[in-house]
Every structure is written in C-alpha cells, then in structure tokens.
Structure 1
C-alpha cells in the first residue's frame, strides 16, 4: 500500500543480502546421508520481533466484524511479503546458532548450512547420530522461541518419543520453492526413500498464447535437472515461438498448438519417475562421472555418482543435469 508520498514501505526498505542456502547444493548434500531428517519451524516469522522503533512502520487498520469500528493496530513481528523478511528470518536463525550453538554442536552446523526457508533438510549416517541431531535441533531452536514440527524421516525409530502432532502424517513431502509461483512439485516419499514428481495437467485455456505457454512451462520445478529430457523439449518449443515474433497475447498457430499438446501429454509421464534419495555413500570413495554432448539445437551435461558398497557392488545414481538451447543469433558449428 502506498501513502500520500507515493512510496510504500517496501519501496524504501533495504532487502538485505541473500542468506538462503542454494537448494541444489542442499539436496545434493542431503542425499549423502543414509538417514534423512526434515522438520519445519512453526510460524517462523511470528516468532521474530521487530525493533520497537520500527514497529510503527507496520500499522494496519482492522475490524473483527463488518459492523465493528476500524481499529489501528501495530504489527510487532516480521511481516509476510515485506522485502526484508527472508533476510531477517535467516539472519535470526544464524545468530541463534552463534549464541547458543556451543551446547548443540550438531544442530549448529545444520542451522548454519542446512536450512531452506523455514525447513531444515539434514540427516546422519547412523540412527544414533540422527537421534542426537533431532534432539539437538529441537532444543536449540527452542532456545530462540521456535518450535520445530512436521518432522519426517526414512527411519521411524529416529522420531520415537515425539508426540504424533509433531510428526508429518503423510508419507510424501513436497519441497518448497518460490512462493510467488505454483510449480510442479518435487516430493520425497519417506516410505520408499525416493524422490517423486506429482503434476496434474493444467486446464487448457481456450486461447493459447505465448504468455500462457510461458506460464505453463515455468511451472515445471526441476532444480537438479532430472527432467531435462522433457524440459529441453519445452525450451526448444518456446524458442521457436519466439522466432515467430508473436505478440505475448497473440494466438499461436494451429501447428504450434498441436505440438504443445503432444509435449503436454508427454509431461504427465514424469509422475512415473522415481529417483533414489540416498546415493549409497559408504565409507569407500564415491566417484563423480560427468558426460556432455551438443547438437545444433541444444547442449546438455549430466553427472552421475558411483559408490561401491561393502560387497564390492557398484551403485550408480543420477546426481544432476543441465540443458541449454543453442543461441539463434550466433551460428553454431559441430566438429565432424
């Protein structure tokens, strides 16, 4: 909301540096743990007070029923949608780890490097270590007035003793992403300890425009590139639309519409894809093997891990991949 000065609070507020951990790095690290543990801070923003001098900048008018008089109220905690909220939340967590972490060394490491938004994504390689981590995380966060709930793990014994209302009741956990977008969900099935995708085909709009298509393509959330064979088709399709020089709200051609329908019908197959969460890291050396290729249309690379278990058997796991469409303004050549 803008005032008579034509500025809103967000217009004048500093955003602060980005303290958010990179989700790709976080998930790759998480996959190295034999036993996974995740949890969510309940009402995180509401647990962080704003300095009294600045609370007056967060005033609202409110009434509990339509017949009540309007009341002026002042928000005392970090407010959703304020520009600095993500920074203030992450900075508070890190300060809590600095101030109280000596008594909880395992939890301190997790708070500093294994949080994404209000979720901790961590684990350990033995059940005993995972239990210690879970206990330390709960107690360290409690020192700051935060309550960790929605606990989940691939080994039920790790959460023994926790009340049921502190545990997630479903066995498939959705990963958070940019909250400004509804995206294709990357989920973790705790029972089978695998990543799964869950995507329902959006209702096709009567008018298929470049804007609508970009909106649909952007809904595919694939931070580790596991869906690259599918998403690169969507990228190439949109590149072709761009070369057609269509306006954003101009209907695409009939042939383009049919091509998109084919891509949409193939995308639903990703619901059958499962990726093991644990990359079978043992005490032995884990190797990384990278491959890349290029064509006149696109470039691609992929990385696999190779671990050797105690019986000498090699375990190969997809780690991450990336694609890029070839530039159109610059001619590309391929070696013979």
Structure 2
C-alpha cells in the first residue's frame, strides 16, 4: 500500500520540479535534525512483524509566507482493514476552545501572536526505509501529546523563569497546538510575556518564532529573525513600520487596525447550482465567533428551504 502511494507520488512530483525540490528538502531536514534515521535493509528484514510503513504526500499552501510545502504522513491509511491509529488511545482533550482564545485575544489593547517552530524521492532508486525518532504528527494521540508536552514544560520550569506574567496560565489558556494568541493592557506586559514564554518553552526545545503584534514598540524589541515575515518596524519613523495582515487561527487579522476581516469569493455564474454547491458555499467562511451570523444565516435558511421543498 505504501509502495503504491510512493510510486504515485513520484509520478506526480516528476511534473512539478519546484514542489519536488521542496519535498526533498523537508525529508532531508528531518534526517539532518534527527527526526528520522535510515534503517539498514538487514535490520528491516530481521523483524517484519513489528513494522508499519506510512504513506506520505505534500500539502501545498501558496498563501503561506513560510513552509509552503508540508509533508503529511497518513496515519489513517489502512492495509488489511487496519491502520496504525487502531492501536492508539486518543488521550483527553487538552486544546483550548478557539472562541475563548479569540475573545481573550480581543480583550486588551496590545495583541501578541507567536508560533512554535518544528528522504528524498527518486524514482530511479529502490526506496529507502526510514524510522521516526520523534512523534509523528497526525497520529490519533498527537493533539493530546503536543498539548501535554507544552503544559508539562510550563509546570516543570516556570519557577526557573523570571517574569511578572503568569506563564503557566498563559500556556494553559492561550495556546492552540503550536500557536499562541493573547492580549495585554500595556506594551511592557506584552514584552514581559513574550520574553518569559520564549525562555520557558526553550527549556524543552520549543522555539517560539514568527512573533507578531499590533504594537510597533513591542515588535522592535523582538529580534528580527523571530518576527513574523514582512513585519518590519522602526519606531523612529512611521514610514518604516509595516504591519501586514496575518492568519490567526484561520481568521485574517489586520494588525495595523487590530481588526478581523473575512474574504469571500462569490460563486462563478457558470457553476452548476446544486444542494451540494449551496452547502459548500455555507461552509466556505470560517467564523468561529459568529461575527457574520446575520449574513451567513441567510444562506443557511436558503439551504433549509431547499430541503423542505424536497429538491434532490
């Protein structure tokens, strides 16, 4: 099963050299960082009863400023009616509710956003076998284990960090997977939290980067290599301040105005009108706080009427 996926992947990437190069780069990076190791054929042949081969494929995001190609390992792919997730417990839910995070993000005047940072394909060669030395993201248990690792770091090392902010509370309330969003009453409080979280999570190897804020002063105090791409600032001259839009938990945030915004591309007139198309339009806009409900409700009512009228 995994071999078939690999053959199809190589065929697809052969016609997309840029994506192929980026894909090879991701695998090479995993290898150089020690996330994976190449397993000798003799070791593979020695014990076939305790192995599971994961198919993998690229996700390409042209709208991303960094990491446009991401390698996804499909832990739900089945062989002989079995997949690797069948043998795992999911663990309790630790992720915070997105709505609660966004509400806290809007509560104070100074907003702060941060992100935790994280084999070559060659159709002419026999595929190499690699083994993971780290947790594979995408497992049924991954959301719990990722959240637990952050929380345990906060519990173990918070007393070793000098910061006036309650860092444990910030980790508990303001993280969603690897993204953190919070707001503070003053610029000094925001910087104290940014520096404290960076030091705290760094003790377990988590590097917080792509920091972003609606405050030029806060941004200038953060090293340029740790800021979000395209965020440039010089408080001595407003002309040198660039606060671009940023995706925060799936919603576009305009930092210079401190506003959320939504983008909708209307349906093409040539598109066939079906119930499926109507439902797809309703689901197009991601609005966890319900800010657009007075508008999206009209589409939901229309879809409900289509069902009541008995359209196929």
- TM-score, shorter chain, exceeding 0.5: yes
Query: 1:246 and 1:81, CA in 2 relative to 1: closer, same or farther beyond 3 A?
Result: farther
Aligned partner of residue 198 in structure 1, secondary structure: coil
1:151-300 to 2 correspondences below 5 Å:
151-168=211-228, 169=230, 171-177=244-250, 186-203=251-268, 206-247=271-312
CA displacement at 1:197 relative to structure 2: 1.6
- What residue is the counterpart of 2:174 in the other structure? 114
CA displacement at 1:12 relative to structure 2: 3.0
Q: Which has the higher strand share?
A: 1
Which residue of 67, 79, 85 corresponds with 1:3? 79
Query: 1:102 and 1:8, CA in 2 relative to 1: closer, same or farther beyond 3 A?
Result: same
TM-score calculated relative to the size of structure 1: 0.61
Which residue of 17, 20, 25 corresponds with 2:100? 25
Q: Contact 1:63 / 1:69 at 8 angstroms: preserved in 2? A: no
Q: Contact 2:98 / 2:249 at 8 angstroms: preserved in 1? A: no
CA displacement at 1:78 relative to structure 2: 2.4
Aligned partner of residue 253 in structure 2, secondary structure: strand
Q: Contact 1:106 / 1:136 at 8 angstroms: preserved in 2? A: no
Q: Contact 2:94 / 2:144 at 8 angstroms: preserved in 1? A: yes
Q: Is 1:138 matched with 2:203?
A: no
- What residue is the counterpart of 1:41 in the other structure? 116
Greater CA drift, 203-212 or 66-75 = 203-212
Query: 1:199 and 1:175, CA in 2 relative to 1: closer, same or farther beyond 3 A?
Result: farther
CA displacement at 1:98 relative to structure 2: 0.7
Query: 1:18 and 1:203, CA in 2 relative to 1: closer, same or farther beyond 3 A?
Result: farther
CA displacement at 1:235 relative to structure 2: 1.0
- What residue is the counterpart of 2:209 in the other structure? 149
- What residue is the counterpart of 1:101 in the other structure? 158
Distance 1:96 1:189 in 2: 32
Aligned partner of residue 102 in structure 1, secondary structure: helix
1:180-214 Cα deviation digits (max 9, x unpaired): xxxxxx22111121222222235456322212221
- What residue is the counterpart of 1:266 in the other structure? none
Aligned partner of residue 239 in structure 1, secondary structure: helix
Distance 1:32 1:128 in 2: 16
Structure 2 unaligned regions, length at least 5: 1-76, 232-243
- What residue is the counterpart of 1:67 in the other structure? 124
Distance 1:88 1:174 in 2: 25
- What residue is the counterpart of 2:47 in the other structure? none
Structure 1 unaligned regions, length at least 5: 44-61, 178-185, 248-336
Query: 1:158 and 1:241, CA in 2 relative to 1: closer, same or farther beyond 3 A?
Result: same
Aligned partner of residue 289 in structure 2, secondary structure: coil
Aligned partner of residue 160 in structure 1, secondary structure: helix
1:220-268 Cα deviation digits (max 9, x unpaired): 1111111111011011001011112233xxxxxxxxxxxxxxxxxxxxx
Distance 1:160 1:106 in 2: 23
Q: Which has the higher helix share?
A: 2
CA displacement at 1:3 relative to structure 2: 2.9
